[in-house]
Structure 1
Amino acid sequence: MSWCWEYVPDEQTVAAGAPPEFIAEVEKKADELVRAAEALHLHGPAFQGADEGARHAFVAGGFFVYMVTARSELVSIWQITPDPVP
């Protein structure tokens, strides 16, 4: 296995209507989260603890909700929320 991130259930559902610049920021931060999780969980599939649950990450233009699942070596992005347009 190899660490990665993905939209759950899929990109079309999670990112529908979000500005492309904001989506790019979300994906850049998701790449950082994958690198951090990989460093923290060197033997991800052997992880025996409980998952940390949902977390929020703030980026330029809004925030997103994600979860790290070490056993699957996966960062899943469940929801993205762009800042409201004034």
Structure 2
Amino acid sequence: MTWSWEYLPDEEQVAGGAPEEFRAAVGRKADELVRAAEALYLDGTTFEGSGEPMRYVDVAGGLFAYFVVPRLELVAVCQVTPPPV
């Protein structure tokens, strides 16, 4: 497997209506989180345990919530809060 990130359950439900610039910033930060998780869990598929709790990241004036699923080698972005208009 290869580490990746995705919106959970899908992009429209999680980030629908958020400005494109903000979505791009979320994507860049999620890419960084994928690289960090890949370095921390060298072979995530063999991970045993409950994984990490949900975390929040400030990005481009807003924030997003994510969690890491080592056995799936996945960073799941589950909520975005874009900056106020």
Q: TM-score range by the shorter chain?
A: over 0.9
Number of positions where the alignment pairs a residue of Structure 1 with one of Structure 2:
85
1:60-79 Cα distance to aligned partner (Å, 9 max, x none): 12000000010100000000
Q: Aligned residue for 2:40? A: 40
Q: Could you list the structure 1 runs, at least 4 aligned residues long, displaced by more than 4 angstroms after superposition.
A: none
Q: Aligned residue for 1:16? A: 16
CA distance in 2, matches of 1:20, 1:54: 24
1:16-71 Cα distance to aligned partner (Å, 9 max, x none): 11000000000000000000000000010100121112100111120000000101
Q: Could you tell me the percent identity over the aligned residues? A: 60
5+ residue gaps in structure 2?
none
CA distance in 1, matches of 2:50, 2:20: 34
2:52 is aligned with 1:52: yes
Q: Any idea what SS the aligned residue of 1:42 has?
A: coil
Letter matched to residue 10 of structure 2? D
Letter matched to residue 64 of structure 1? F
Letter matched to residue 22 of structure 1? F
CA RMSD of aligned residues (A): 0.7
TM-score, length-scaled by structure 2: 0.96
